[in-house]
Amino acid sequence: MNHHLNSKQLARYHSLGYLDCGRVMSDAAVTELRDIADRFAAEAQAGSIGLSTEPDQSYTLFTPVFTRNARYKELVLQHAVILDIVESVLGPVFRLVEDQLFYKPPRHGGALALHQDNGYYGYDEPKIVTCWIALDDATPENGCLKILPGSHRQEVRHDPIPGSIIIRADVDESQLIDVPAAAGTLIVFDGLLVHGSDPNTTDRPRRVANMVAIVPTADGTFRKFDDTLNPYLRGAPA
């Protein structure tokens, strides 16, 4: 079955820089991915990165995931619907930049500063699609996506946050919007879309699976390609 985006969906994506694709994950798949995220968090897996500027407001990013969990690879990196949607934007040949699990613990998971994903990669031609998959109902209260619609049209300056690996986009925040999403929902957005999230103020964790894909391109300023960690998800190099 073909799950590519139609012309109206593509026009919206290119106009706003993002698209809510609705639910693409079954309840069973969401439960499996939640369990994987919980195991990673409980076992303090290698590859975890603390995203915080304040010790009491941290949360965790796990990457890479697919090399350490075959089921995650099947559920996310080989998901036919997700790959068809990405192909609609990037074309028939694209590779993985990185895969991620975000874990915001209850009443502890802090905010993530506004940024463009390519601010962390530094590709000269950032034809990037980020796939953001809600594993819990994402709300303003637990830190759903916040985005700046239309901000994907140009790269913006990012300022480093002292004492952390985090950078912050220098933008006017007055037009930010929340993008709530039910568990199992896929939101795709351009690698130059300014986005972030607020703290998790609820009594439950907020978990997200992420996949970042890119058309074949040269190494970025901050990210080099590796055939093991950055496989082609569709097609093959020309």
What is the number of structural domains in the chain? 1
Tell me the pLDDT tens digit for each residue of 67-90. Answer: 999 999 999 999 999 999 999 999
Q: What are phi and psi of 11, to 5 degrees?
A: -65, -40
Q: Which helix (H) or strand (E) holds 233?
A: strand 232-234
Q: Which of the two residues, 28 and 56, has the higher pLDDT score?
A: 28
Mean pLDDT of the chain: 92
Q: Is residue 238 part of a domain?
A: no
Residues ≥6 apart with Cβ < 8 Å to 162? none
By the 8 A CB rule, do 129 and 75 touch?
no
Domain-located, residue 38: yes
In a domain, 2, yes or no: no
Sheet holding 145-147, edge to edge: 112-115, 195-197, 145-147, 177-179
Q: Is 188 inside a domain boundary?
A: yes
- Residue 33 in any domain: the answer is yes
3-state class (DSSP) for residue 68: coil
48 pLDDT band (50/70/90 cuts)?
Answer: low
172 contact partners, CB below 8 Å, separation of at least 6? none
pLDDT at 73: 97
Decide if 26 contacts 80 (C-beta within 8 A).
no
CA dihedral 176, 170, 210, 14 (to 10 degrees): 60
Exposure string (b/e) for 14-29, b if CB count within 10 Å is 16 or more? Answer: eebbbbbbebbbeeeb
Cis geometry, peptide bond prior to residue 64 (ω within 30 degrees of 0): yes
Residue 54's CB is within 10 A of a number of other CB atoms, namely 11
When mean pLDDT is compared across 45-49, 95-99, 121-125, 149-153, the lowest value belongs to 45-49
Structure tokens at 54: 């304040």
What share of the chain in percent tops pLDDT 90? Answer: 78
Q: How confident is the model at residue 107 (pLDDT cuts 50, 70, 90)?
A: confident
Rounded Cα gap, residues 121 and 221, in angstroms: 6
Contact status, residue 147 vs residue 115, Cβ threshold 8 Å: no
What is the per-residue pLDDT for 43? 83
In a domain, 217, yes or no: yes
What's residue 46's pLDDT? 56
Of the candidates 213, 86, 197, the residue with the CA atom closest to the CA atom of residue 148? 197
User: Which residue matches tokens 């809510």?
Assistant: 20
In which residue are the tokens 């000269």 written? 124
Q: Please tell me the distance from the alpha carbon of residue 223 to that of residue 221, in angstroms, as a whole number.
A: 6
Confidence of residue 222 (pLDDT cuts 50, 70, 90): confident
| Residue 207, in any domain of the structure | yes
Which CATH number goes with the domain that contains 164?
2.60.120.620
pLDDT in tens, 2-33: 799 999 999 999 999 999 999 999 999 999 99
Could you list the residue range(s) of the whole structural domain that residue 204 is in? 7-232
Which tokens is 73 given?
A: 């690879």
Does residue 90 form part of some domain?
yes
